[in-house]
Each structure stands twice: as structure tokens, then as C-alpha cells.
Amino acid sequence: MKPFTAVVRVGLCSVVLLPFGGTALADGLPAASSPSAGGERVLGRATFRCQGGIRVQVTLLPNRARVQFAGQTRVLNQADGAGGVLYQGGGFAWVSNGEVASMKETRSGRFALRGCVQVN
């Protein structure tokens, strides 16, 4: 288990009562008191590589995740996920089951990103 994974698992379990597999965030050990844009605390970061070689940076904020890829930034709210961690908003959902993550367009059901695995 990566160092960040353990911290996020403990932090998120108390918020959403779901196990967190760790694929949604980490750039090494998180700096729990580091500010992000807008002054919010950054709980952790992760870089993913998805199908097609697309790199995704995910930043965990309190009750939200900022997902950046291909020049786009999506800020998604934490939601209940069946068997994983789910962030959604603005017609998109970032889902992690502990092994693989994906970004799905909620209206069409089309995957914007799939097969995303943590690279650090």
C-alpha cells in the first residue's frame, strides 16, 4: 500500500464509510495542511495513466476532488459509491474501485477516461 493510500483510506472512511482503494490520489505522502488554489486544504495528489496514454492529476480536497487532464479541470463532489469511491458533478463522475479508475459522462454513459492506474 502506498503511503498516501493509507492516509486517504483512514480519512475518507470516516466521511463516506466506504473503503478507499488508493487509486484516486497520491504523489507520495500527502501534505494535509498544504493550501490549494482558493486556500482549500490539499489532502493528497495522485497521477494516473489512462488508456491512450492520457495523464490525469487528481487532487483530493475536503469532500471534493479536482481532476485535471488534457487541458481540462473538473471539480467533483464526493458522493456515495457502490464498492468504491465516487466523485461527481457537472455531468461527469470519477470512480475508483481500488485497482482502476475512470471518468464517465453521467448523461451519456460514455467513458471520457478509462483504465486509469496510479503511476506514483
- The pLDDT tens digits of the residues spanning 5-56 come to 333 333 333 222 222 333 333 333 333 444 545 678 999 999 999 999 999 9
CATH class entry, domain 3-118:
mainly beta
Structural domain spans, the chain? 3-118
16 vs 97, more confident:
97
pLDDT digits (tens, 9 = 90+) for 49-91: 999 999 999 999 999 999 999 999 999 999 987 767 799 999 9
Nearest to 49 by CA among 77, 69, 78: 69
Decide: helix, strand or coil at residue 38. Answer: helix
* Cross-strand bridge partners of residue 92: 89, 105
C-alpha 73/C-alpha 71 separation (Å) is 7
Residue with the bigger pLDDT between 85 and 2: it is 85
Across the strands, what pairs with 67? 58, 74
Q: Report pTM.
A: 0.67
